[in-house]
Structure 1
Amino acid sequence: MKILSDIIYKIKVEKEIGDININISNISFDSRTIVQGDVFIAIKGYDLDGHQYIQSAIHKGAVAIICEEIPTDVVANVTYIQVKNTSYALGIIASNYYNHPSDQITLVGVTGTNGKTTTATLLYNLFQNLGYRCALLSTIENRIADQKLNTRHTTPDPITINQLLSQAVEKKCEYAFMEVSSHGIHQERLAGLNFKVGAFTNISHDHLDYHKTFANYLAAKKKFFDDLPKSAIAISNIDDKNGLVMLQNTEAKKVTYSLKSNSMYKGKIIENRLDGMLLNFNQQEFWTSLAGKFNAYNELLAYSIALELGFESTEVLKALSNLNRVKGRFETYVSNDKKYIIVDYAHTPDALQNILEAINQIRTRNEQLITVFGCGGHRDKEKRPIMGKIATRFSDLSIITSDNPRDEEPEQIIKEIEGGIEPQNTNKYLSITDRKQAIKTAIKISKPKDIILIAGKGHEDYQEVKDERLPFDDMLIAKELLTN
């Protein structure tokens, strides 16, 4: 049982009606979950306004309401707390309610368009291998020590974040590694969290369905670093043209890494193969099973963070060399007849070009590169023709298919992708709406030593069609088709 006055500590209250020294049982921003004794926080969301559900929450037993606008029909024996921004207040409330777990653990946040999942997962595995209990909050999964939990959002809501961090503290985890999305930053889901490290991978065209302009998207990423305290460390990739922008206004310690520029942590690719790379970080060489230049950046970032947190270079590189690839991130499989399957989450123009360039740098050119890809429904439409242009430019053959069409017509999405294909490449693609059939076709027309890239869904084991999530795992389906 908590006291209301304790969970609103450090919130700037604009107006208060009722008793704040009452016992409360739980906190929620979803009126459907409210039971007797709870606090309801009314959030003005992207689609819904929680203020419309205040009376419903009270009817279900809410004893306190946190809101931006106090209703005209105030109910007796219910406490109302008015604040300027309930989304921001929710983060502070959640942190207070769970006894400030981010103060009791070394919290590392990784943001950027591409590489967040891989880097956060690498860090989790790296620190586990170094002998520390860790937590992971990522797109693929949440982990507390060795316990795996399912996830549906890159950056969860503040209550879930603090709940997970609280569990991590209870299980004596010393580090937590968290993906930080632009949506999460913009929606104040990070309020109340104490980050020890904030890291930037890169930024490119994505999520403009939500942010509307690239400037807004960039500003959301930058806000994460602007909000870091002086006690934190801000680490940025300065090979990205906006890498230094992230560090402009932060009060945190500024740290840089790169493969091409002069930086504090400098990396170099010595050898690049489908089965891994020989890398040099700060004048020390090591082998990694990860492949592709983008993964060199991810590993260099993980290395930089580890050294900034006090670890010794040699032990970090030794641990990095023992790490396996992240599921759905340049995940490879070689069939009995020597066909190479690569499954990757690349779902943005930049990510797709990066992985295709990585494959082209490694391959011998005596084999065919076939790319199977699509674009998700009800997501940034501007990237569709760009991805069509990139896929057909950097592949010998592209098969355009469905990704997660949701409630858009997949044929229309495919048509928009086709709109970006350059005239000289119109004979280098097929369109097959059914994703399984598209993968089957790629396998059927491929020859031994050919490379088949299946891009866009990566780790996902489902396909979103209309209002359903249907079982669909690119790698499992490819293996099944190859076996049959």
Structure 2
Amino acid sequence: MKVKELIKNTKVVKSQEILNREVSGIFYDSRKVLPGGIFVAIHGTSADGNAFVQEAIERGASVVVTEKRDLVLPSGVGLIVVENSRKFLAEIADIYYHSPSKNLKIVGVTGTKGKTSTAMILKEIFEAASFKTGLIGTIQYEVGQRIVPSTNTTPESIDIQALLAEMVRAGLTHAILEVSSHSIDQGRIECISFDAGIFTNIASHEHLDYHKNFRNYLESKLKFFSTYLPASKKKDKIAVINIDDVYSRIFINTAREKKLNVVTYGLSRKAEFKAENFTFDRNGTSFVLRGKKFSTKLLGSGNLYNCLAAISTAVSSGISIDTAVSVLGNIKNIPGRMEFIDTGRPFTVVVDYAHTHRALEELLKTVRHLNPGRILLVFGCGGDRDRSKRPIMGKIAARFADRVYITSDNPRNENPNQIISDIYRGIPFWYKRKCELIPDRRSAIKSALSCARENDWVVIAGKGHEQYQIIKNIFYQFDDRKVVLELLKEINN
């Protein structure tokens, strides 16, 4: 494809020496540039792509896209100046891959909690209805039989378009995308033709390191329903909203103003998909929806809402409710989400991704409902992330757990001891005696396992499915689930 074909419908401030050049690929990471490629310099959260223009040229970039009007390039390297490089990247990515989203039924899932579980449940229902479905989410990207570990919940626009194009080539008909607030704010989902959007919930003290305040965070989530879903040229677009969320009315009104078909779910009597007779125990969750009895091994109120979101979307898309009943009965777990570890011991071990105060509270309340002997909680908070939630999470942990082992999560560039101190600061003095501060995560898990007695629950929170720990921007192999099994062998010996 020639450059002139890529840019003919885009807004370019200035260009030179480029129009008839053939494009070998589009890149935003200078380390991955191939000869004859276009390098788009975008502003990342920690780096500016303009700092890597020289490296991109050395690797063979024939055209550079930038917002800098005064950028000087070597002779023979083409230049395109644009007002918004991220938006431009999304536009040319869609053109380069021939607008694959137009050939797929695409559902976007956004919210603070429940995106991954909702997306994976919905994928199972679609597949059971004989819809070949791809997935782009927090845990992994799935294209047919090809599964790739995720790098971002919602990757960069060019990566999304490449995955969607691969899905089309593989004969898939549907795709489900987890849509993060970062991706909405940065325009990574620009030019994707969505058929439906799901709003799970929204909580304060989430991603404030990026959004700065809750209002910005809320507006970012709303933008999916006010801008990106309405912009799709698909017909009969659906907005599926959790009516029980305190901010649901804002999302419902926004969706209706944009002429979207609104579908609501929840426990409220006003919900179109209203769950009744909801109960759960150690063996799973059950509820009644539209006269049908649902049973699933997924535990707790959080998973009830995830199931309702998936069912509402599937049924509103023409799938029979009986198909959903069958699928939920066969789902055993979602990786790293209330995932039980088979230890063969008289106590229970659960690994969960809960890394916000609201998610942690919901997790611990769910476990408490199951009448454990004691709850032994291992958790920490991520570094280089919102610090204001740390004391809040400490207070919640100490309130709902019987023993608390405060440890490292992904400290990144922060001092792990400082993060732990921030958490500990929020714990009332009368709860402090139940807490231990153990910076090494493996040692903290070992302490909890060694302390566990019959009928106790060891709850390991924060990292869930992750198979690494980030310390000083270095990724070390670390999987809570594997570490548990390794430590139990050590304890035995």
> Which residue is equivalent to 1:392?
398
2:126–2:133 Cα contact (<8 Å) kept: yes
Q: Are 2:66 and 2:82, in contact at CA under 8 Å, matched by a contact in 1? A: yes
Check whether the contact 1:293–1:358 (CA below 8 A) recurs between aligned residues: yes
2:210 alignment partner in structure 1:
210
1:245 pairs, out of 250, 258, 263, with: 250
Superposed CA offset, 1:192-233 (max 9, x none): 111111111111121111111111111111111111127321
Contact 2:108 2:176 in 1 (8 A): yes
The answer on whether the counterparts of 1:89 and 1:191 sit within 8 Å (CA) in structure 2 is no
The one-letter amino acid of 2:440's match is: D
Displacement of 1:416 in angstroms is: 0.7
Mapped to 1, the partners of 2:44 and 2:427 lie a distance apart of 37
Select between 386-395 and 277-286 the one with higher mean Cα deviation: 277-286
One-letter amino acid matched to 2:421: K
Find 1:357's aligned residue among 348, 361, 365. Answer: 365
Q: Counterpart in 2 of 1:453? A: 459
Shift of 1:165: 0.9
How far off its partner does 1:41 sit? Answer: 1.4
Q: Give the count of matched residue pairs.
A: 481
**2:217 maps to amino acid:** Y
Q: CA deviation at 1:468?
A: 2.3
Distance 1:41 1:336 in 2: 53
Out of 101-110 and 421-430, give the one that drifted further: 421-430
Equivalent pair of 2:353/2:461 in contact (CA under 8 Å): yes
Q: Aligned partners of 1:397, 1:59: CA distance in 2, in Å?
A: 56
Query: What is the CA-CA distance between 1:332 and the residue it aligns to?
Result: 1.1
> Separation in 2 of the partners of 1:46 and 1:481?
37
- The answer as to whether partners of 2:181 and 2:217 remain within 8 angstroms in 1 is yes
Q: Match for residue 62 of structure 1? A: 61
Measure how far apart 1:20 and its partner are: 2.2
Which residue pairs with 2:120 in the alignment? Answer: 121
1:44-59 → structure 2 map (5 Å cutoff): 44-59=43-58
SS in 2 for 1:195: coil
- Whether the 8 Å CA contact 2:2–2:23 is kept in 1: the answer is yes
Alignment of 1:233 with 2:232, yes or no, is: no
Q: Classify 1:423/1:127 alpha carbon distance in 2 versus 1 (closer, same or farther; 3 Å).
A: same
| Residues 387 and 417 in structure 1, CA contact (< 8 A), matched pair in contact too | yes
**Which residue number in structure 2 is paired with residue 97 of structure 1?**
96
Aligned: 1:151 with 2:150: yes
Determine if contact 1:9/1:96 at 8 Å carries over to the other structure: no
Question: In terms of mean alpha carbon deviation, does 330-339 or 74-83 score higher?
Answer: 74-83
Match of 1:374 among 372, 380, 395: 380
Name the counterpart of 1:302. 310
Q: Which residue in the other structure is 2:138 paired with?
A: 139
User: Residues 129 and 319 of structure 2 are in contact (CA less than 8 Å); yes or no, is this contact kept in structure 1?
Assistant: no
Unpaired runs of at least 5, structure 2: none
TM-score normalised according to structure 2 size: 0.93
Provide the residue aligned with 2:297 in structure 1: 289
1:319 to 318, 327, 343: 327
My pick for the range that moved more, 289-298 or 273-282, is 273-282
Structure 1, residues 345-402: CA drift from partner, whole Å, max 9, x if none?
Answer: 0000000001111112222x5x111111111111111111000000111111211111
Which runs of 5 or more structure 1 residues have no equivalent in the other structure?
Answer: none
Change over 3 Å in CA distance of 1:369–1:172 after alignment to 2 = same
CA contact (8 A) 1:31 1:57 kept: yes
- Partner Cα separation in structure 1 for residue 315 and residue 8 of structure 2: 35
Q: Corresponding residue for 1:427?
A: 433
* 1:154-169 equivalences in 2 (<5 Å): 154-169=153-168
Matched, 1:476 2:482: yes
2:18 and 2:63 in contact (8 A); partners too: no
Distance 1:368 1:74 in 2: 65
| Deviation readout 1:433-456 (Å, 9 max, x if unpaired) | 221221111122221111111100
Q: Is it true that 1:43 corresponds to 2:55 in the alignment?
A: no
CA distance in 2, matches of 1:286, 1:64: 56
Contact 1:65 1:78 in 2 (8 A): yes
Residue 217 of structure 1 aligns to a residue whose secondary structure is: helix
| Aligned equivalents of 1:265, 1:15: Cα separation in 2 | 52
Q: What is the CA-CA distance between 1:76 and the residue it aligns to?
A: 5.1
In structure 1, C-alpha distance between the alignment counterparts of 2:59 and 2:144, rounded to whole Å: 36
Q: Deviations over 1:59-99 (max 9, x none)?
A: 54333333223335365554433322110111111111111
Alignment root-mean-square deviation, CA: 1.8
User: TM-score scaled to structure 1, two decimals?
Assistant: 0.95
How far did residue 34 of structure 1 move?
2.7
Taking a change above 3 Å as real, the CA distance of residues 78 and 443 of structure 1, as seen in their structure-2 partners, is closer
Identical counterparts, % of pairs: 39
